[in-house]
């Protein structure tokens, strides 16, 4: 039943992780590595003194950080790899996160450990020591194409810590395997320039990228059109084959692979703003879509797309739901429908009646 484990891995390791986080961190240090999405950071390198200090410190051991996080090639896959986290997040941000994770990301699985101020200082200090110097100017001075530079920058910043491309990376942010089809280049450019200007309270950091780096990343992202990731697609399809009896879980993977979560949220709860889209300039909530519509209606939208009604007919064109026909198989559309059905709140079976009525 390895496949069952694989499909549930994130959830299972997490629960397992918090269960044992306080009980037996020492045992877990050696036993929780391997498997899971491959994340760069220290790969192929010697274990640095900073990594040794981090993994060996009393606070990291006692709170069981590596039951959920990977460091120096070992650890869990529930949270992101921490080797390069300080290249993505400021010390101030890391401190705020550790103090109260949910204040920065609503609904996160990371519980509040109620660290004291000295503990926070200690942890942030370790994380800052961990990171390597990225030397992005060296990447930018190479003679390869802008798109290739973008891919190298993507790896250098370890964007896979949150984003998935093909079979690699995590599911914290939207899956980017198809982002080139979902978003025009100017949108990606604006987003990278200042994510919070487009989505208040977004979890995406502002990397304050120099313009050259930003444009290279936009080229790379625009090239991500799903069908180019032949290898990734095979991996997902194999998994889908083994998970045949659990369509809803495979559906969740397909939903994320096409990046539906990027607009509609992880469980269809809505998300991004969509300028000039009626009625409220928001991406629609689709959590109850499968409950309230037939399978054919849902698949029709997936295959042929949908353009939102304009709030102001003279205003800008809002982002449409793309037409996936030719890219999405009939089975994949069925799986997304199954997933949406699984996140739909059940119809209420009973209701109150007016007193005396």
Partner 1 sequence: MKVKVRYALLLIALTVVPAAWNVSGAQDGVGAIEGSVIFKVEVPEAERIKVTRNADVCGAHKVSQEFVVSRDNHGLKNVVVMLGGAGGSSGEAVVTLDQQGCTYVPHVQVTTKGATLIVTNSDATFHNVHAYHVQSEFKKPTLFNVAQPAGSEAAKQTFVLDNTGVVEFNCDVHEWMQAYVIVHDNTFFSVTDENGHYSIAGIPPGEYTLKIWHEGLGEFEQPVTVSVGETLTLDFPIEGNE
Stretch that binds partner 1, among 15-23, 86-94, 148-156, 174-182 (CB under 8 A): 15-23
Contact 207, 195 (CB under 8 A): no
Query: Is 203 an interacting residue with respect to partner 1 (CB under 8 A)?
Result: no
Among 116, 118, 244, 347, binds partner 1 (CB under 8 A): 347
Query: Is 339 an interacting residue with respect to partner 1 (CB under 8 A)?
Result: no
The smaller minimum CB distance to partner 1, of residues 118 and 347, is found at: 347
- How far is residue 253 from each of residues 174, 237, 258, 290, measured CA to CA in Å? 12, 10, 9, 17
User: How many residues at the interface with partner 1, by CB under 8 A?
Assistant: 35
Q: Minimum CB separation from partner 1 for residue 268, in Å?
A: 8
For 33, residues 6+ apart whose C-beta sits below 8 A from its C-beta are 70, 73, 74, 75
Among 61, 109, 246, 327, binds partner 1 (CB under 8 A): 109
Among 106, 117, 244, 312, binds partner 1 (CB under 8 A): 106
Query: Is 201 an interacting residue with respect to partner 1 (CB under 8 A)?
Result: no
Query: Is 2 an interacting residue with respect to partner 1 (CB under 8 A)?
Result: no
Distance in angstroms (rounded) separating the CA atoms of residues 166 and 103: 30
Stretch that binds partner 1, among 70-78, 86-94, 110-118, 186-194 (CB under 8 A): 110-118
Query: Is 245 an interacting residue with respect to partner 1 (CB under 8 A)?
Result: no
Give the containing element (helix H, strand E) for 71: strand 70-71
- How far is residue 273 from each of residues 31, 257, 287, measured CA to CA in Å? 43, 21, 17
The smaller minimum CB distance to partner 1, of residues 10 and 83, is found at: 10
Contact 28, 91 (CB under 8 A): no
Query: Is 18 an interacting residue with respect to partner 1 (CB under 8 A)?
Result: yes
Q: Minimum CB separation from partner 1 for residue 8, in Å?
A: 11
Stretch that binds partner 1, among 146-154, 304-312, 324-332, 347-355 (CB under 8 A): 347-355
The smaller minimum CB distance to partner 1, of residues 143 and 355, is found at: 355
Query: Is 279 an interacting residue with respect to partner 1 (CB under 8 A)?
Result: no
Among 5, 15, 91, 238, binds partner 1 (CB under 8 A): 15
- The burial of 58, by beta-carbon neighbours within 10 Å (0-12 exposed, 13-18 middle, 19 or more buried), is given as exposed
Stretch that binds partner 1, among 13-21, 27-35, 88-96, 122-130 (CB under 8 A): 13-21
Q: 13-19: long-range contacts (C-beta < 8 A, 24 or more apart)?
A: 13/67, 13/68, 13/76, 13/77, 13/78, 14/68, 14/76, 14/78, 14/109, 16/67, 17/64, 17/67, 17/68, 17/76, 17/78, 18/67, 18/68, 18/111
Alpha helices in 22-48 (DSSP H): 25-31
Taking alpha carbons only, the member of 112, 188, 206, 114 closest to residue 147 is: 188
Stretch that binds partner 1, among 39-47, 192-200, 263-271, 304-312 (CB under 8 A): 263-271
Contact 90, 55 (CB under 8 A): no
Distance in angstroms (rounded) separating the CA atoms of residues 39 and 168: 7
**Number of residues that make up the chain:** 357
Among 114, 116, 143, 245, binds partner 1 (CB under 8 A): 114
Q: Minimum CB separation from partner 1 for residue 355, in Å?
A: 4
Among 5, 19, 38, 135, binds partner 1 (CB under 8 A): 19
The smaller minimum CB distance to partner 1, of residues 19 and 38, is found at: 19
Residue ranges binding partner 1 (CB under 8 A): 14-15, 18-19, 21-23, 101-102, 106-114, 268-270, 285, 287-288, 345, 347-356
């Amino acid at each position: 039943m390895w496949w069952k484990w694989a499909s549930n891995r994130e959830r299972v390791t997490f629960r397992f992780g918090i269960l044992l986080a306080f009980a037996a961190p020492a045992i877990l240090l050696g036993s929780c590595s391997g498997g899971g999405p491959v994340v760069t950071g220290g790969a192929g390198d010697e274990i640095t003194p900073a990594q040794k200090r981090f993994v060996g410190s009393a606070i990291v051991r006692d709170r069981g950080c590596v039951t959920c996080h990977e460091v120096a090639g070992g650890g869990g896959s529930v949270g992101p790899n921490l080797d390069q986290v300080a290249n993505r997040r400021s010390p101030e941000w890391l401190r705020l996160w550790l103090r109260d994770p949910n204040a920065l990301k609503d609904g996160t699985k990371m519980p509040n450990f109620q660290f004291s101020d000295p503990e926070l200082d200690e942890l942030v200090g370790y994380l800052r020591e961990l990171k390597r110097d990225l030397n992005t100017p060296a990447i930018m001075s190479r003679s390869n194409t802008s798109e290739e530079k973008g891919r190298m920058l993507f790896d250098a910043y370890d964007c896979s810590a949150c984003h998935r491309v093909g079979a690699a990376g995590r599911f914290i942010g939207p899956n980017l395997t198809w982002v080139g089809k979902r978003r025009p280049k100017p949108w990606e450019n604006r987003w990278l320039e200042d994510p919070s200007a487009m989505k208040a309270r977004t979890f995406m950091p502002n990397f304050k990228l120099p313009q050259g780096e930003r444009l290279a990343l936009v080229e790379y992202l625009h090239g991500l059109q799903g069908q180019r990731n032949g290898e990734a697609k095979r991996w997902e399809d194999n998994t889908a084959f083994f998970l045949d009896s659990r369509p809803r879980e495979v559906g969740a993977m397909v939903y994320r692979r096409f990046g539906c979560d990027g607009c509609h949220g992880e469980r269809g709860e809505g998300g991004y703003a969509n300028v000039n889209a009626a009625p409220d300039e928001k991406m629609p909530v689709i959590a109850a879509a499968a409950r309230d519509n037939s399978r054919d209606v849902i698949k029709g939208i997936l295959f042929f797309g949908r353009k939102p009604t304009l709030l102001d007919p003279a205003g800008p064109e809002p982002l449409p739901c793309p037409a996936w026909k030719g890219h999405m198989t009939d089975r994949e559309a069925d799986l997304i429908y199954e997933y949406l059905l699984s996140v739909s709140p059940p119809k209420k079976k009973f209701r109150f009646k007016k007193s005396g009525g």
